């Protein structure tokens, strides 16, 4: 099967989460994505290890890394060496796109800035991802995904009602930014296909985050209003929240958006007397009396199974959903039938076996995307890229290994320990450990 | 109109709400001709979604609609009439992309399934945005931002340990699906340009949110660990210390960290940053040391930070290489010197609201640049222009309107 980006070669000179996300999507779509890693800068750190065991090659065994790097071809280059910089340029010569997320100026210092690479590949598309962009008073400031939900203005809305702002989710804008990078690269590819021109894309995380808050920003421009946190509540809908169910820390999200849905909910609750009272008679009254309403709905849900109740409510037209944890979602029957997770079998050397990885939230009917290979082991494709693709002869490649221009084992692997999962559960980071996860997942 | 890059495409946007219109707007922003098709009766429900200009709930004053539908031409069309469907087919003939978000099976029931659309224009890329996707047991379920945040795991891992799971206050899952729809549609157009073959894209909004919150399933799949809400040490810090969550500043809130570039910084250097040599303390020297004395660290640092104006801290810390964040309000964003210098806000003339500023350039693409060419259309604003191009005379357009076709 051929993918939408078949025949496009992309260089991945990125770290962290946002840009690796963009690049694994392109790889899923059939682009050949060459991840340029380094075996000399490598630092061993914590990770999410299979069976919580770092194993012999811990640098190849981290679940987050393997999620974000899946589908890519991996090489190493020690860019402190001139030979490595030249080899990098040779890869550029046969590529269409490069994405990098170094601090502004770093690539220029390495001799790999846009002007230097355009000289070897005139129609190159070169995307530089930074926190704040290449111009403006904040241009030199560091950008890390998890800080942007604050700085982009999203956190002004997050938190329990009546409290200050609070973090929500993981590094919130990393994925938005990664997805937008795919759009940006495609826009540049459309331009190249129609004009023959490449270009340099100044790609700032900050601006992308703010662009997903356009309505809030315009509220200030028109009305002088900034945001505040309202917990799980809605500006004019009620009920709109989560309610405790049977079991430890089990919850269901329920909302009604019109009178029909409200009546269906009342019907499901067995038409209790309180639901007929004047104070809940219309959406505005329900909104004004939502403290009491939430209490009453919570009394009804508290002895019910979250998944069964959500299913039952949805079947009668009431918007409801279990508040799922990672296990609930990975094992959810709908998600299974959608084949949202894909099975990937890893290289035997990694001793990871088979794992499930999330696919994409879309399906293309004619150019299906799928995870084409597991994340590369460090330097796994050095021979393919430097030998087969660039035509460097074997003797020369052997010399590159000897001089540490390339390598397959980290020079400084650090030491990785299993995560203290029991302590994490004491701290509240986790709720439990399921010993039967492999059996349940079929891996 | 340039015919290069995204400027070569004509996109029909018959979607409503936030996700589809945001995707279509991205195409319009980077040069495509986007035609927004609305029902003749009430139009896109986003017209009734706040906030409103001067808080006036008028269908032409929704700021949500305004932001999401700038750079589009607006027409009305009633697909429930035979003539309306014929006009829709004519529009499909001359278009490259269609973005829709009707309920499952709605277009099929009108004889406008992808199979039928493909017969009319095999090169068109149809992007269908639905709550849970086009198959599976939840296909016909109701969806909204609260439910997507619940299903994806965003909520279960957010909030305080002893309280209920917490969602983000702004409906970000809908914006996420919009970005995803934009890149998926663009990939479809890329391959259509090369092969002449269009296709159908089935996009699930719930899965968009799950693709965002991928980390909790990874932990389960790798070692059976089930992630829960923030540590007992409140404020949502991942480091077990309030200091690295969101903390009060003198005039708002901020997110200080010990992150220095891509590594963890030294306490001595941080003390220098704060210019408070008296609080230097070997107990906090390294990250490992700090982990042993979390509460003491909070006790010392929080009162100092509470006295600092947030921008003063932000500029000082970031200028010195530390990673810091501030909780910016909408007011801060509108007055931001960084956005100002990058000409982020653009003046635009709206037919009802008048002249106003709107947020702008998402990324800088110098050879096929972002531009704003028009405010969001009023309901049916471009009927004469667009139907004129299809060959209808001015009188015929008036008749179509009287018949309720447009």
Angle between helices B205-212 and A173-195 (to 10 degrees): 110
How distant is the Cα of B164 from the closest Cα of chain A, in angstroms? 7
How distant is the Cα of B218 from the closest Cα of chain A, in angstroms? 6
CB-CB contact of B337 with B324 (8 Å): no
Q: What is the ipTM of this complex?
A: 0.98
Q: How many CA atoms lie within 13 A of A100 on its CB side?
A: 22
Count how many pairs of residues, chain A against chain B, have C-beta atoms within 8 Å.
530
CA atoms of A309 and A307, how far apart (whole Å): 5
Q: Quick check: A176 and B176 CB within 8 A?
A: yes
CA atoms of A10 and A4, how far apart (whole Å): 14
Residue identified by tokens 């965002």 is B212
Give the per-residue SS3 of B5-44: HHHHCEEEECCCCCHHHHHHHHHHHCCCEEEEEECCCCCC
Measured between beta carbons, the chain A residues lying within 8 angstroms of B248 are: 164
Could you say which of B114, B164, B357 has the minimum Cβ distance to residue A251? B164
Q: So what CATH class is B5-211+340-403?
A: alpha beta
Q: Quick check: A4 and B187 CB within 8 A?
A: yes
Q: Quick check: B211 and A249 CB within 8 A?
A: no
Which of B50, B219, B310, B344 would you mutate first to test chain A, the one with the most A CBs within 10 A?
B219
Give this prediction's pTM: 0.97
End-to-end CA distance of chain A: 25
Measured between beta carbons, the chain B residues lying within 8 angstroms of A225 are: 51, 330
Which of B130, B167, B320 would you mutate first to test chain A, the one with the most A CBs within 10 A?
B167
**% of chain A with per-residue pLDDT over 90:** 90
pLDDT value, residue B321: 94
How distant is the Cα of A7 from the closest Cα of chain B, in angstroms? 11
How distant is the Cα of A399 from the closest Cα of chain B, in angstroms? 32
Could you say which of B6, B149, B230 has the minimum Cβ distance to residue A187? B6
Could you say which of B137, B172, B238 has the minimum Cβ distance to residue A333? B137
Sign of CA dihedral B200, B205, B206, B210: positive
Q: Please write the tens of the pLDDT for every residue from B191-229.
A: 999 999 999 999 999 999 999 999 999 999 999 999 998
pLDDT value, residue A43: 57
Q: Please write the tens of the pLDDT for every residue from A209-260.
A: 999 999 999 999 999 999 999 999 999 999 999 999 999 999 999 999 999 9
CA atoms of B405 and B401, how far apart (whole Å): 6
pLDDT value, residue B231: 66
How distant is the Cα of A376 from the closest Cα of chain B, in angstroms? 17
Which of A140, A167, A199 would you mutate first to test chain B, the one with the most B CBs within 10 A?
A167
Could you say which of B147, B153, B337 has the minimum Cβ distance to residue A137? B337
pLDDT value, residue B232: 57
Q: Which CATH architecture has domain B242-326?
A: 2-Layer Sandwich (3.30)
Q: Which residues of A149-169 are buried (b: 16+ CB within 10 A; e: fewer)?
A: bbbbbbbbbbbbeeebbbbbb
pLDDT surpassing 80 at residue B39: yes
Q: Quick check: A169 and B158 CB within 8 A?
A: yes
pLDDT value, residue B240: 54
CB-CB contact of B237 with B244 (8 Å): yes
Would you list the domain boundaries of chain B?
Answer: 5-211+340-403, 242-326
Q: Quick check: B210 and A361 CB within 8 A?
A: yes
Domains, in order of start, for chain A: 9-212+339-441 (3.40.50.10540), 240-328 (3.30.1540.10)
How distant is the Cα of B282 from the closest Cα of chain A, in angstroms? 24
Radius of gyration, CA atoms only, chain B: 25
pLDDT surpassing 80 at residue A25: yes
Measured between beta carbons, the chain B residues lying within 8 angstroms of A203 are: 363-364
Q: What angle do CA B202, B210, A443 make, to 5 degrees?
A: 95
Which tokens in the block code for residue B100?
């829709």
Q: What angle do CA B361, A125, A86 make, to 5 degrees?
A: 135
pLDDT value, residue A185: 98
Q: Please write the tens of the pLDDT for every residue from A80-122.
A: 999 999 999 999 999 999 999 998 889 999 999 999 999 999 9
CA atoms of A88 and A76, how far apart (whole Å): 10
Which of B168, B247, B366 would you mutate first to test chain A, the one with the most A CBs within 10 A?
B168
pLDDT value, residue B201: 98
Could you say which of B144, B186, B321 has the minimum Cβ distance to residue A255? B144
pLDDT value, residue B162: 85
pLDDT (mean) for B176-182 = 98
Q: H-type helices in A332-390, by residue range?
A: 333-337, 382
pLDDT (mean) for A193-202 = 97
């Amino acid at each position: 099967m051929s993918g939408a980006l078949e025949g496009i070669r992309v260089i991945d000179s990125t770290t962290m989460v946002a840009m690796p996300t963009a690049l694994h999507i392109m790889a899923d779509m059939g682009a050949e994505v060459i991840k340029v890693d380094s075996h000399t800068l490598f630092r061993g750190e914590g990770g999410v290890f299979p069976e919580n065991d770092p194993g012999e090659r811990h640098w190849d065994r981290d679940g987050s890394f393997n999620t974000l790097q899946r589908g890519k071809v991996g090489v190493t280059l020690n860019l402190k060496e001139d030979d490595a910089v030249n080899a990098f340029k040779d890869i550029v010569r046969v590529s269409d796109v490069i994405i990098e997320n170094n601090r502004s100026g770093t690539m220029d210092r390495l001799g790999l800035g846009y002007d230097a690479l355009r000289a070897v590949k005139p129609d190159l598309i070169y995307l530089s991802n930074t926190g704040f962009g290449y111009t403006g008073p904040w241009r030199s400031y560091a950008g890390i995904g998890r800080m942007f939900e604050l700085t982009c203005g999203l956190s002004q809305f997050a938190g329990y009602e009546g409290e200050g702002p609070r973090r929500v989710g993981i590094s919130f804008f990393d994925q938005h930014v990664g997805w937008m990078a795919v759009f940006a690269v495609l826009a540049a590819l459309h331009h190249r296909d129609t004009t023959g021109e490449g270009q340099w894309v100044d790609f700032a995380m900050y601006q992308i985050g703010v662009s997903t808050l356009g309505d809030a920003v315009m509220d200030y421009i028109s009305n002088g209003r900034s945001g505040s946190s309202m917990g799980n509540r809605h500006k004019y809908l009620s009920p709109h929240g989560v309610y405790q169910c049977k079991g430890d820390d089990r919850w269901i999200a329920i909302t009604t958006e019109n009178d029909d849905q409200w009546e269906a909910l009342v019907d499901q609750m067995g038409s209790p007397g309180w639901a007929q009272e004047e104070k809940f008679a219309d959406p505005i009254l329900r909104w004004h009396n939502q403290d009491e309403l939430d209490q009453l709905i919570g009394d009804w849900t508290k002895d019910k199974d979250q998944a069964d109740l959500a299913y039952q409510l949805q079947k009668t037209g009431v918007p409801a959903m279990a508040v799922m944890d990672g296990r609930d979602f990975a094992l959810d029957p709908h998600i299974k039938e959608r084949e949202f997770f894909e099975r990937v079998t890893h290289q035997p050397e990694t001793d990871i076996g088979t794992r499930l990885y999330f696919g994409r939230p879309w399906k293309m009917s004619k150019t299906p995307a799928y995870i084409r290979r597991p994340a590369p082991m460090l330097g796994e494709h050095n021979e393919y890229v430097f030998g087969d693709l660039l035509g460097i002869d074997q003797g020369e490649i052997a010399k590159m290994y000897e001089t540490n221009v390339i390598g397959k084992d980290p020079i400084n692997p650090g030491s990785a320990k299993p995560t203290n999962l029991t302590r994490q559960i004491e701290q509240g980071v986790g709720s439990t450990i399921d010993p039967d996860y492999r059996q349940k997942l079929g891996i | 109109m340039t015919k290069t890059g995204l400027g070569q495409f004509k996109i029909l946007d018959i979607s409503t709400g936030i996700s589809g219109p945001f995707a279509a707007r991205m195409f319009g922003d980077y040069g495509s001709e986007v035609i927004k098709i609305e029902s003749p009766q009430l139009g896109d429900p986003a017209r009734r979604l706040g906030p409103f200009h001067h808080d006036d709930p008028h269908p032409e004053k929704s700021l949500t609609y305004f932001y999401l539908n700038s750079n589009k031409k607006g027409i009305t069309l009633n697909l429930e009439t035979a003539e309306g469907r014929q006009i829709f087919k004519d529009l499909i003939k001359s278009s490259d992309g269609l973005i829709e978000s009707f309920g499952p099976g709605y277009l099929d029931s009108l004889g406008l399934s992808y199979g039928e659309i493909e017969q009319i224009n095999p090169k068109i890329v149809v992007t269908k945005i639905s709550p849970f996707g086009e198959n599976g047991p939840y296909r016909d379920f109701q969806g909204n931002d609260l439910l997507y945040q619940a299903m994806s795991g965003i909520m279960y891992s957010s909030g305080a340990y002893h309280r209920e799971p917490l969602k983000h206050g702004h409906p970000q899952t809908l914006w996420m699906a919009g970005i995803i729809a934009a890149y998926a549609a663009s990939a479809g157009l890329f391959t259509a340009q090369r092969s002449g073959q269009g296709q159908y894209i089935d996009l699930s909004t719930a899965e968009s949110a799950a693709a965002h919150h991928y980390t909790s399933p990874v932990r389960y799949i790798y070692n059976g660990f089930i992630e829960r809400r923030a540590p007992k040490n409140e404020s949502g810090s991942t480091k077990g210390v309030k200091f690295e969550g969101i903390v009060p500043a003198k005039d708002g809130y901020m997110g200080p960290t010990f992150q220095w570039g891509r590594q963890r910084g030294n306490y001595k250097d941080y003390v220098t940053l704060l210019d408070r040599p008296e609080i230097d303390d070997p107990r906090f020297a390294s990250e490992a040391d700090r982990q042993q004395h979390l509460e003491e660290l909070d006790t010392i640092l929080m009162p100092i930070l509470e006295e600092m104006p947030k921008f003063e801290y932000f500029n000082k810390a970031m200028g010195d290489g530390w990673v810091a964040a501030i909780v910016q309000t909408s007011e801060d964003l509108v007055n931001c010197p960084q956005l100002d210098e990058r000409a982020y806000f653009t003046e635009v003339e709206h037919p009802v609201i008048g002249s106003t500023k709107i947020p702008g350039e998402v990324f800088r693409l110098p050879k096929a640049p972002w531009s704003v060419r028009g405010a969001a259309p009023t309901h049916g604003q471009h009927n004469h222009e667009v139907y004129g191009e299809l060959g209808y005379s001015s009188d015929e357009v008036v008749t179509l309107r009287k018949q309720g076709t447009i």
